[in-house]
C-alpha cells in the first residue's frame, strides 16, 4: 500500500471518503466481501459490519438502522462457497413469520434466482451447495435441537429477546472442517430493551472492546433507504423511555421503578424449616408472548427465600404436565396457589387443577385485585430492605433482567408470580378460593 500521510488535525468523514476513493489499494482493503446473492450495496455502517472478520460482532442500537438487512447480507456473504452453512434465529416462529421480517426479506431478495427455497425446512439451498436456514428458540430446550449441527455463520435477529444461555450454547455449533477457509462468525443485531437488555449491554457495550467483541452502533440516519422523517414521527408517539431506546439507541435509560438488581442478595441455600409456597401465574402463549411462571418461595423469621422458578411458553397440556411434575418434585409440604382468571373459564381451570391435575396436594385458586404494580409494592419494599434472598440457580439472570425493568419491560409474569407467593406467605389480603 502507498504511504498515507495523516493530517495534523482531525478531518471530516467526507475527507476520509475522498482519501479512500482516490486510493484503489486502500479501497480494496476496506471493501467487504459481497456475493451475487446480495441484491444491493450496503450502506456505510452495514459495510463496516460486513467487513469484520472476527468471531463475534453486534449491530444496531437505534431502530431503523438497517440491522435486518445487515444480518441477512452477512449470512449471504459466503453463499457461493461449497459446504458453507448459515443459520438465522428469531425468538419465536411468530416473529420469524412476520411480514417484512428477516425471513420474508430473504424471499424478496432470492425468489426467482437459482437458489432453492424449502418452505417446510425454512431453508435456502444455493447452487454451490451452501445453505441458509431460518429458525427460532421459543423455549430454553429448543437450543438442543441443534446439538449435532455445524454452522460457519450463526445470526440472532433482535438479540435482546433471547436469554444469554441460548446465545452462549450456540457457540458450540460454530465450527468448520480443518482446512475450511470461511471465517467462523457469530453475528447479532438488536435495539435496547427486552428480557436480554442487561446481558447484551454488558457483553457488547460495557466489556465488548476488552474482549474483542465489536459493536457497530447504527441509527436511523445511517439508513437512507428508509423514510426517516415519517419513522421519526411514529417513534415520537412512544413513552420517553422506549423512545430513547429506539430513536437514540440509549442503553442506559431505565424502565424499572420498582426494583433494583442489587436489592436481591444471592445465597447458597435456604433454611430447611421455611414455610413454603409455589405460586403459578398461568399466562403462557404457545408461540411467544407471555409465560406461565411458577415461583417457589419460603419464609423464616421475616426473611423470604426465592429458591426456584419454572416457566414455559407452550400448550395447555405441556403447562399441565409441568405444573404436575413440579408439584411432585416440591413435595406435599409446599402449598400450591394459582392466579384465577376472571369469568367462568377461570373457575373451570381451577376446578380442573384441583380435581384432576393436582389431586392430593394442597391447592387453591387466587382471585387477585389491584394492578400488577400495586401487587408488587410490598415485594419492592421488602426487597429494598434486603429481606428477599435468591438461592443460587440458573434462573436468576432472567429473573433479575425482568424485575429490574418492571413495570416498563416487555414481560412481568415472574414479578406477578413473586407478588402472589409473597402475599400468601406474608398474610396479604388477596381473596382466595378453597
User: Does residue 202 register a pLDDT over 50?
Assistant: yes
Give the span between the Cα atoms of 405 and 35, in whole angstroms: 41
Residue partners of 6: CB distance under 8 A and separation at least 6 = none
Cell of 136: 427460532
* Distance (Å) of CA 209 to CA 59, 281, 333, 373: 14, 40, 50, 38
If we measure between CA atoms, which residue out of 154, 193, 204 comes closest to residue 63?
193
Share of the chain above pLDDT 90, in %: 61
User: Does residue 20 register a pLDDT over 80?
Assistant: no
- What are the residues facing 135 on neighbouring strands? 89
Biggest alpha carbon–alpha carbon distance for the chain: 84
The tens digit of pLDDT for each residue in 339-379 reads 998 888 889 999 999 999 999 999 999 998 888 888 998 99
Q: Which of the two residues, 354 and 16, has the higher pLDDT score? A: 354
Name residue, grid cell 445487515. 70
Given this model, what pLDDT does residue 7 score? 53
- Do 87 and 41 contact (CB within 8 A), yes or no? no
- Do 364 and 336 contact (CB within 8 A), yes or no? yes
Helix (H, G, I), strand (E, B) or coil at 402: helix
Asked whether the whole model's pTM tops 0.75, one would answer no
The tens digit of pLDDT for each residue in 90-126 reads 999 989 989 889 999 999 999 999 999 999 999 999 9
Question: What DSSP designation does 220 have?
Answer: G
Provide the pLDDT confidence category of residue 194 given band limits of 50, 70 and 90.
confident
Give the span between the Cα atoms of 336 and 47, in whole angstroms: 55
Question: What DSSP designation does 146 have?
Answer: G
User: Does residue 197 register a pLDDT over 60?
Assistant: yes
Top-confidence range, 37-51, 227-241, 282-296, 420-434: 37-51
- Do 97 and 157 contact (CB within 8 A), yes or no? no
- Stated as kind and residue range, the H or E segment containing 357 is none
Q: Going from the N-terminus, what domains does the chain have, and what CATH number goes with each?
A: 31-248 (3.40.50.300), 261-433 (3.30.420.240)
The tens digit of pLDDT for each residue in 265-304 reads 999 999 999 999 999 998 766 555 688 999 999 999 999 9
If we measure between CA atoms, which residue out of 80, 103, 108, 106 comes closest to residue 90?
103
Mean pLDDT of the chain: 88
Amino acid at each position: 500500500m502507498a504511504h498515507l500521510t495523516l493530517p495534523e488535525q482531525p478531518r471530516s468523514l467526507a475527507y476520509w471518503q475522498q482519501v479512500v476513493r482516490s486510493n484503489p489499494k486502500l479501497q480494496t482493503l476496506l471493501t467487504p466481501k459481497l456475493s451475487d446473492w446480495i441484491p444491493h450495496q450496503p450502506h456505510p455502517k452495514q459495510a463496516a459490519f460486513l467487513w469484520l472478520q472476527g468471531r463475534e460482532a453486534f449491530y444496531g442500537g437505534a431502530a431503523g438502522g438497517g440491522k435486518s438487512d445487515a444480518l441477512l447480507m452477512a449470512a449471504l456473504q459466503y453463499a457461493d462457497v461449497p459446504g458453507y452453512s448459515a443459520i438465522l434465529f428469531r425468538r419465536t416462529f411468530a416473529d420469524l413469520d412476520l411480514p417484512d421480517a428477516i425471513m420474508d426479506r430473504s424471499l424478496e431478495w432470492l425468489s426467482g434466482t437459482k437458489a432453492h427455497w424449502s418452505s417446510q425446512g425454512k431453508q435456502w439451498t444455493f447452487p454451490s451447495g451452501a445453505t441458509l436456514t431460518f429458525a427460532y428458540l421459543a423455549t430454553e430446550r429448543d437450543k438442543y435441537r441443534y446439538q449435532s449441527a455445524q454452522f460457519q455463520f450463526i445470526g440472532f435477529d433482535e438479540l435482546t429477546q433471547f436469554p444469554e444461555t441460548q446465545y452462549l450454547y450456540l457457540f458450540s455449533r460454530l465450527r468448520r472442517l480443518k482446512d475450511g477457509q470461511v471465517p467462523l462468525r457469530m453475528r447479532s443485531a438488536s435495539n435496547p430493551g427486552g428480557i436480554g437488555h442487561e446481558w447484551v449491554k454488558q457483553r457488547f457495550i460495557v466489556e465488548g472492546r476488552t474482549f474483542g467483541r465489536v459493536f457497530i452502533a447504527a441509527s436511523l440516519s445511517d439508513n437512507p433507504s428508509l423514510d426517516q422523517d415519517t419513522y421519526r414521527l411514529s417513534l415520537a408517539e412512544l413513552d420517553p423511555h422506549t423512545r430513547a431506546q429506539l430513536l437514540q439507541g440509549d442503553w442506559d435509560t431505565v424502565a424499572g421503578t420498582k426494583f433494583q438488581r442489587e436489592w436481591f442478595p444471592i445465597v447458597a441455600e435456604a433454611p430447611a424449616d421455611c414455610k413454603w409456597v409455589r405460586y403459578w401465574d398461568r399466562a403462557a402463549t404457545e408461540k411467544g408472548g407471555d409465560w406461565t411462571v411458577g415461583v417457589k418461595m419460603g419464609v423464616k423469621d421475616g426473611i423470604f427465600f426465592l429458591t426456584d422458578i419454572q416457566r414455559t411458553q407452550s400448550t395447555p397440556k405441556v403447562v399441565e404436565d409441568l405444573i404436575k411434575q413440579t408439584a411432585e418434585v416440591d413435595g406435599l409440604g409446599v402449598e400450591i396457589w394459582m392466579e384465577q382468571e376472571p369469568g367462568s373459564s377461570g373457575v373451570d381451570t381451577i376446578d380442573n387443577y384441583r380435581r384432576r391435575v393436582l389431586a392430593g396436594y394442597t391447592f387453591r385458586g387466587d382471585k387477585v385485585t389491584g394492578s400488577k404494580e400495586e401487587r408488587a409494592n410490598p415485594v419492592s419494599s421488602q426487597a429494598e430492605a434486603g429481606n428477599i434472598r435468591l438461592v443460587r440457580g440458573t434462573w436468576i439472570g432472567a429473573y433479575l433482567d425482568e424485575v429490574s425493568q418492571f413495570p416498563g419491560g416487555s414481560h412481568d409474569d415472574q414479578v406477578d408470580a413473586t407478588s402472589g407467593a409473597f402475599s400468601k406467605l406474608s398474610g396479604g389480603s388477596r381473596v382466595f378460593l378453597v
